[in-house]
Every structure is written in structure tokens, then in C-alpha cells.
Amino acid sequence: MDGVLAAAARKEKRVPPGKPTPAQSPANIPGDGTRERILDAALELFGERGLHAASVRDVAKLARANVAAISYHFGGKEELYRAVATYIAGLIGDRVAERAPQVVLSPPPETPEAALAELDIVMETVVDVLVGSEDMRRVARFVLREQMQPSPAFDIIYDSVMQRLHERVCLAFGIATGTDGQSEAVRLRVFLLIGQAIFLRVGEAVVLRRLGLERYDERLLGEVKTMLKQHVRLIVEDLHRSAEA
């Protein structure tokens, strides 16, 4: 479940006056996982309300911990916020890896057909992870908020996940269309294509209201996926034709 980055984050623990933890203290027993509960509660509230609107007292209450535990474990509110960022960078990486392993692990596709198939998987994954999954909802909110108002935490997520993923998708798009996957045009177009799905989360309130729904259900997400794959196919095929000419 845990990513490399999430694990790294745990080491960041503030060592009060004394010496650093002796390399591997086998998890301290008194009170179970307060640190993790705080991290989880912080993700929830920071994602829902943002850094300033969420108070450390509310975070502590949700985590069933004492307020002082936040300063104790993380150093302060801002450091907690950064810790959440590296925490979810790990979460996203893990989720993508288990949901679409070929995108992060396998070598890039070789034929346009295989590349198009990979793009289909990417679109489905984006919809599932970003819009569908209920437990990724707060993660998505946190990330979107960071995008609109980048803080130091933004670099953590960008460097470890976004840049890598976007690069890979551009590569596949280039192969599918027979064009240069490094070109500005391809990068831009990939953003536009993925932006379609992202808006479902950003503009959730408007979209649901206009559709007369309470929440996104399986039926609707299925329809969304079909549409997105159709859009991708139409655009890819058109570009492919142009590239051949």
C-alpha cells in the first residue's frame, strides 16, 4: 500500500531534543499510529478546505489525537502540509501502478495500434482514479488545490508523479499519431485530452447539478469512459492521417 515516498516521509519525524531514532526503532507501542492518523485526517481536511481553512485543532480532533501531537510529530502545520504532499505522492504512484502497471513499467508501445490501446487505458484510469474512486476524492482535491495555488508542496507531487506520467502519455500519443512525442503540440494536446476528465472533478458541483445527479455512479462513469475513448480515437486517427500525408 505504501509508496517509497510515503515511507520516506515517515523518517522526517521531528527528533525532539535528544538523539535521532536509532535507525530502526521497531515502532513505538504507546498509542497506536497517532502519526498516521494525523496524516490521514490532515489529508481529509486540507483536501476539503485548504491549508488556511483547516485548523490544527480540527485535524487533531478528527485524528482523535492531541493538538500538541502535530507539533511533536511534524514540527508544525506547514510541515504537516508538506508531509501530506509526499504522502499522497506515494498514494498516487501506488494507485497508478496497480491500476495500469503497463504505463509505468513496460517499455513504450511499438505500433500505433498498441499505443492507441494504451491511451484508452490511460483515459479509463484517469476517470477511475480521479473521478470514480471515493477514497481518491480527497487526494484529487488536495492536488487540484495545489495546482491552483502552488506551494512548496507542489514540487513534491509534480516531480514524483505528474511529470513522469505526462511524459509517458505523450510518448504513447506520439507513437499512436506517428508524430514527435516530445513536441509542444503533443504535450499540449495531451493536457487538453486529460483535462476533459479532470473537469469532472473540478467542476463537480456544476456538472452534477446540470445532470440532475447526486453523485457520479457506475453507469455515468462508463458513459464518460466511452466518450473519452471515442474522442481520443477520432483525434489520433485524424492526426495520423495528416502525419502520413
Partner DNA sequence: TTGACTAAAACAAACGTTTGATCTATATCT
Partner DNA sequence: AGATATAGATCAAACGTTTGTTTTAGTCAA
- Residue 189 near residue 166, CB atoms below 8 Å: no
Minimum separation from the CB atom of position 141 to its own copies (A): 7
Q: Which of 1, 11, 25, 218 binds DNA (CB under 7 A)?
A: 25
Question: Tell me, what amino acid is at 74?
Answer: F
Instruction: Work out which of 8, 64, 182, 203 binds DNA, going by CB under 7 A.
Output: 64
Q: Nearest to residue 59, comparing CAs of 83, 27, 25, 86? A: 83
Tell me: does residue 243 bind its own copies (CB under 8 A): no
Q: Which of 1, 98, 150 is nearest to 158 (CA)?
A: 150
Q: Which is nearer to DNA, 61 or 187 (CB)?
A: 61
Cβ(63)–Cβ(40) under 8 Å?
Answer: yes
- Nearer Cβ to DNA (10/138): 10
Q: List the one residue from 37, 82, 137, 145 that touches its own copies (CB under 8 A).
A: 145
Q: Which of 126, 135, 148 is nearest to 225 (CA)?
A: 126
Name the helix (H) or strand (E) containing 134: none
Location of C-alpha cell 502540509: 81
Residue 152 binds to DNA (criterion: CB under 7 A): no
Q: HSE, CB side, 13 Å, CA atoms: give it for residue 216.
A: 23
Interatomic CA distance for residues 79 and 74, integer angstroms: 6
User: Which of DNA, its own copies, none interacts with 224 (beta carbon under 5 to 8 A by kind)?
Assistant: its own copies
By beta-carbon proximity to its own copies, the closer residue of 2 and 78 is 78
Residue 77 touches DNA, criterion: CB under 7 A: yes
Q: How far is the CB of 124 from its own copies (least distance, A)?
A: 14
Report the distance separating Cα 10 and Cα 13, nearest Å. Answer: 6
Judged by CB under 7 A, does residue 226 bind DNA? no
Kind and range of the H or E run holding 217:
none
CB of 226 to its own copies, least distance (A): 10
Q: Which of 203, 217, 222, 243 binds its own copies (CB under 8 A)?
A: 203
The count of residues interacting with its own copies (CB under 8 A) is 52
Any contact of residue 29 with DNA (CB under 7 A)?
yes
Chain residues binding DNA by CB under 7 A are 13, 15-16, 18-19, 21, 25, 28-35, 54-58, 64-73, 76-78
